[in-house]
Structure 1
Amino acid sequence: MAALCRGYGRLLARRPRAAQALTAGALMGAGDVIAQQLVERKGLRGHQGRRTVKMMAIGFCFVGPVLGSWYKVLDRLIPGATKAVAVKKMVLDQGGFAPCFLGCFLAIAGAMNGLSVQENWSKIQQDYVDALLTNYCVSAGDSGSPSWPHTCLSPELPIWPPVQIANFYFVPLNHRLAVVQCVAIVWNCYLSWKANRM
C-alpha cells in the first residue's frame, strides 16, 4: 500500500492532470460497481460491464480534467487559505459550479447511454432537480418515482458543503480532487444509479 501511495505521489508530481483523470475514472467505476451490486443488487451475472466502463470513461475524460481545472481556477479567483476563504470557495463551488457540472454530467451520461437529444433532455428534466437537491442534501419529497436508498446517502446529512470547506482549508491544491473523489464513492454510486435509471 505504501508503494502504491508513493507511486501515486510521483505521478501526481510529474503529471497532475493524468493522475487526477486516473483517480476520477477509477473511483467513478468503483461507484458504478457499488451501485450495481449493493444498491441495484444485480449480482455478478447481471453486472453490466459496459456501464461500468462508460462511467470510468466519464471520470477519465470529463470529471477528472474538469474538476482539476476548476480547483485551479477557484484558487486564482479566491486566493488564500483562511477559514473565510474556504467558505467563500465552497459557496462559489456549490452555488455556481456544482449546478452546471451536474447538468453536464447528466447530459454526457445520457449521450453515452445512447439517448436521442429529445430523450436526453427529457431525462435531464426528470433527474436534474432531484440530483441537485441530493447534492445539497435537501429532500425533494416523494415524487412517485423509485427513490435512492437513503441508507446509503441520507438527505438529512449534508455531505458536499462541509467536505468542500475542509478540502479548501486543509488540503493542498493537487490533492483536492483525490480527496473529493474518495469521499465521492457514495456520490458516484448515486450518480451512476441516477444516470442509468431509465
Structure 2
Amino acid sequence: MNRAWAAFKAHPYISNVLGYTALFASADLIQQRVLGKKPAAEGSSSINWHQTARVATVGFCFHANFNYHWLRWLERMLPGGGVKVVAGKVVLDQLVGAPLTISAFYIGLSLLERRDDPLADWRQKFWTSYMAGVVYWSTML
C-alpha cells in the first residue's frame, strides 16, 4: 500500500487523471443505482454501462486535465490558505471554472450520445447545476 501511495504522490498528474475518471464513473453508477432505472430487457443489468463509460470519458478527457491545470493556476495566483485567500479561490472557481466544467460535462455527454442538439441538455440543466454548485461550494469554506 505504501508503494502505491508513493507512486501516486510521485506522479500527481497521472493520479489526478485516474482519480477524476474513477470519481466520474463511480458517481454515475451511484446515480443510476439511486434513481433505480429499469433494465432495458428482462435479465439484463440495471446499470447502463455505456452511460457510465461516456461519463468516465468526459471525466478523463476534459475534467481531469482542466481541473489539474486550473487548480494549479489558482494556487499560483492566490497562494496560501487563509480565509480571504480561500474565499478568493472559491469565487474565481465559481465565476470561471464552474461554468466551463458544467458546460463541458453536458455538451460532452451530448456529443458522445450523438444527440441532434448537443446544447439541449446544457440549456435545460446548466443554471440548476450552476446554482447548486455555488450554494454548495460557498458553504464549504
| CA distance in 1: counterparts of 2:58 and 2:5, whole angstroms | 23
CA separation of 1:8 and 1:132: change in aligned 2, threshold 3 A = farther
**Partner residue in 1 for 2:69:** 69
CA contact (8 A) 2:36 2:46 kept: no
CA contact (8 A) 1:28 1:55 kept: yes
Tell me the SS of whatever aligns to 1:92: helix
Gaps of 5+ in 1: 138-158, 166-198
**Partner residue in 2 for 1:134:** 132
The 10-residue stretch of structure 1 (67-76 or 52-61) with the greater mean CA deviation from structure 2: 52-61
Work out which of the residue numbers 99, 121, 124 in structure 1 matches 2:122.
124
Work out which of the residue numbers 16, 20, 23 in structure 2 matches 1:20.
16
Q: Looking at both structures, which has the greater relative contact order when contacts are Cα pairs under 8 Å and sequence separation is at least 6? A: 1
2:93 equivalent to 1:93? yes
TM-score scaled by structure 2?
Answer: 0.85
Give the Å deviation of 1:35.
Answer: 1.0
Aligned pairs, number: 137
| CA distance in 2: counterparts of 1:114 and 1:103, whole angstroms | 16
TM-score scaled by structure 1?
Answer: 0.63
**Partner residue in 1 for 2:48:** 48
| CA distance in 2: counterparts of 1:73 and 1:20, whole angstroms | 15
Give the Å deviation of 1:8.
Answer: 4.6
* Aligned-CA RMSD value: 1.8
Gaps of 5+ in 2: none
Tell me the SS of whatever aligns to 1:46: coil
2:4 equivalent to 1:11? no
Work out which of the residue numbers 28, 32, 38 in structure 2 matches 1:36.
32
